[in-house]
Amino acid sequence: MVRSLRIGAAQLGPIARDTGRDEVVDRLVALMRQGSDAGCQLVAFPELALTTFFPRWYLDDVPEELDSYYETEMPGPQTQRLFDEAQSLGVGFYLGYAELTSDGQRYNSSVLVERDGSIVGRYRKVHLPGHEEHEPDRPFQHLERRYFEEGPDGFSVWEAFDGIIGMALCNDRRWPETYRVMALQGVEMVLIGYNTPLHYAPDPSQNPLQSFHNRLVMQAGAYQNGTWVIGVAKGGVEEGVESLAQSMIIAPSGQVVAEAETTDDELVVADCDLDWCKHYKDTLFDFNRYRRPEMYNLITQPKSEL
Ligand code: ING
């Protein structure tokens, strides 16, 4: 029996600074309903999908605004509706959000929710890009390293949707270790939400390459690990910052099988045959037969010893 999963990559257009969660959840519910109508079992939303991408601002002068961007519960009063909708439609989802834990830790997180509305897994972003201190000379900030702690849990995979599903967030997709650690756990589909400004202040020569780099890293990650990769953007011009859209669904072959056409709310749908992974995991990338971990020690050496 073919294990085919119909995926909906639910790209979001801009979310304004003063847009309330209820208005955003309305958009998420609309995309989820669209996914249900299209026969999707799983709908994937972007990173930090409930609010504007607030790390673009230095917010120390408005601590109550900064606090307002985090979820202290998942689901919480304003997101329960999304879980209820998912359960009634029988559609699962992946959702990126800013997490504030009961002991005051702050993470850039995501949850994987099965079709019965139950939370299967939670992920906390491992690779935090950007900077820690206010850099007023930048046209906009990228203060993820100020507003979040690095995820302490690493990369896990979960048995769900009749397959093995993994989660990552944005900058994680640029690091080959992200995909490999999950592939060593048998991952068949990696869900990755992202917010990627087209302008990269430390090296603007990369600006015209953002689209190329986005494809490059996710296609490589898929092919080199024999896994599906679902990249889901929050794109368009959000509070004056032009952000990459280009949500896409990538097969274990590295081929892009579906891609967003707009920079707005858009559902990108594809049927993903999870057994396609075997074509690569059991041949070219048969890790047990061909990998040489004893040759890769430098990769896990602590930075202090390099
Ligand atoms: N965003 C970016 C990303 O890795 C970034 C950081 C911005 C990289 C601009 C390159 C250019 O896609 C997040 N949120 O990680």
Structure tokens at 246: 């280009």
Closest CA to 51 of 109, 93, 129, 135: 109
pLDDT at 243 over 90: yes
pLDDT at 115 over 90: yes
Does the Cβ of 174 fall within 6 Å of ligand 1? yes
Helix (H) or strand (E) holding 290: helix 287-290
Catalytic residue flag (residue 272): no
Q: How many whole angstroms separate alpha carbon 263 and alpha carbon 37?
A: 22
Residue 175's Cβ-count burial label (10 Å; 0-12, 13-18, 19+) is middle
Cα separation values, 227 from 119, 201, 274, 285, Å: 22, 32, 8, 11
- Contact between 186 and 179 (Cβ < 8 Å): no
In Å, how far from its chain's centre is CA 202?
23
196 CA from centroid of ligand 1 (Å): 5
Say if residue 197 is preceded by a cis peptide, omega within 30 of 0: no
The predicted structure's pLDDT at residue 304? 92
Q: How many whole angstroms separate alpha carbon 129 and alpha carbon 194?
A: 12
The predicted structure's pLDDT at residue 64? 98
Q: How many whole angstroms separate alpha carbon 92 and alpha carbon 223?
A: 25
Residue located nearest, by CA, to atom 4 of ligand 1: 171
* Torsion, Cα of 223, 167, 47, 63 (10° steps): -140
Q: Which CATH superfamily is domain 4-305 in?
A: Carbon-nitrogen hydrolase (3.60.110.10)
228 has which bridge partners?
A: 189
Determine how many CB atoms are found less than 10 A away from the CB of residue 150. Answer: 13
The predicted structure's pLDDT at residue 145? 98
Local structure of 69: helix, strand or coil: coil
* 60-81: pLDDT as tens digits: 999 999 999 999 999 999 999 9
Mean pLDDT of 26-45: 98
Strands 119-124, 163-169: parallel, antiparallel or unpaired by DSSP? Answer: unpaired
Local structure of 78: helix, strand or coil: coil
Q: How many whole angstroms separate alpha carbon 75 and alpha carbon 170?
A: 22
* 13-25: pLDDT as tens digits: 999 999 999 999 9
pLDDT at 173 over 90: yes
String of b and e for 47-82 (b: at least 16 CB within 10 Å)?
bbbbbbbbbbbbbeeeeeebeebbbeebbeeebebb
Residue located nearest, by CA, to atom 8 of ligand 1: 196
- Closest atom of ligand 1 relative to the 130 alpha carbon: 6
- Closest atom of ligand 1 relative to the 173 alpha carbon: 4
Does the Cβ of 53 fall within 6 Å of ligand 1? no
Mean pLDDT of 88-100: 99
Closest CA to 269 of 34, 28, 94: 34
Catalytic residue flag (residue 47): yes
Helices 80-89, 21-37: axis angle to 10 degrees equals 10
151 CA from centroid of ligand 1 (Å): 17
pLDDT at 138 over 90: yes
Catalytic residue flag (residue 281): no
pLDDT averaged over the chain?
98
In Å, how far from its chain's centre is CA 131?
20
The predicted structure's pLDDT at residue 1? 82
User: What confidence tier does 303 reach under pLDDT thresholds 50, 70, 90?
Assistant: very high
Q: What percent of the chain has pLDDT over 90?
A: 99
